[in-house]
Amino acid sequence: MSKQITYSPAYTLVPTYECFNRCTYCNFRVHPNQDDWLTLENAEQILEKMQNKSICEILILSGEVHPQSPRRKVWFQRIYDLCQLALSMGFLPHTNVGPLSFTEMETLKTVNVSMGLMVEQITPKLLETVHQYAPSKLPKLRLQQLEWAGQLKIPFTTGILLGIGETLTDCWETLEAIAQIHNRWHHIQEVILQPHSPGQQQTFIASAFNYHQLPEIIAQARQILPESITLQIPPNLITNPQCLLDCLEAGARDLGGISPKDEVNPDYAHLTHQGLINLLGTKGWQLVPRLPIYPQYDSWLSSPLQLAVNSWSKSTQLAF
């Protein structure tokens, strides 16, 4: 029997690229007030083209509007409306838009089958370097989101960023913090191990993370994190095919949401679907699509969301 590697067939909607944070490694943001927000009309036109293409997940990925900004309410409403639109058109929304208030998370729970936020690294020393001008990258704020997601019973994805000035000890401490929160609430579906990959827009002067270190980090992460958490790696950021296979052998089992464009790392295109199938097949791995919510969390959803998930689970379009 083939060994399975999962991924989520996805498409990314970006409400806005503007962000009040200025992380020096970012290749996503534009300055506040310098971006035209995605309208619902344009989003509907985009989603219409995605129908009947076996895309199940709509990732709502946004830059952050400051919590005290007078535009925060409009920004949040746009995110909510995009999720609702995606649901109405037969997709399953997954939102990752930065730290939210407890009330905002509670509201988005009603129109998302899962949500996410990268912890990145919890060492405070990064607040003096890559996160010096990024107020929402406070470690306690990121960990609080994981805690609230658990309290609200939101199936959650988080992860760490590698190669931004942390040490291996910092990595282990961040993973241990994630494990502790998960052990309280049992809500974390996946942890992403994402190597820093330089892009054209960033001001951070550093080479790419040595992805040949990833198998060792994955093996250690597998020891630290509970077995119920799936380890995820972004295949487009591991440009050496053998290293990608080594990462799977070390314990990674998911390739994340594979969308036509990686909005966070736009300089790194994904392999074609057939290319991935061929590569994985050389080691007996089978590429299998999945939903953005793992089956053990279905009961956490409202009845309307459960119906949406069930319709995909029974679909012949994907081999779930």
pLDDT at 52: 87
Q: What is the mean pLDDT of residues 130-155?
A: 97
The CATH number covering residue 10 comes to 3.20.20.70
Please give the residue that has the higher pLDDT: either 259 or 41.
Answer: 41
Tens of pLDDT along 143-197? 999 999 999 999 999 999 999 999 999 999 999 999 999 999 999 999 999 999 9
Range of the domain at 105: 3-302
Tokens 């988080």 — which residue?
A: 158
CB atoms within 10 A of CB 82: 25
Give the total number of structural domains in the chain.
1
User: Is 311 inside any structural domain?
Assistant: no
pLDDT at position 248 over 90: yes
Tens of pLDDT along 36-48? 999 999 999 999 9
User: Is 263 inside any structural domain?
Assistant: yes
pLDDT at position 318 over 70: no
User: Is 143 inside any structural domain?
Assistant: yes
User: Is 310 inside any structural domain?
Assistant: no
pLDDT at 97: 98
The mean of the pLDDT values for the chain is 95
User: Is 315 inside any structural domain?
Assistant: no
* Nearest partner of 111 among 145, 72, 143, 76, judged by Cα: 76
pLDDT at 320: 39
Helices (H), 126-196: 139-151, 168-185
User: Is 313 inside any structural domain?
Assistant: no
pLDDT at 2: 61
User: Is 257 inside any structural domain?
Assistant: yes
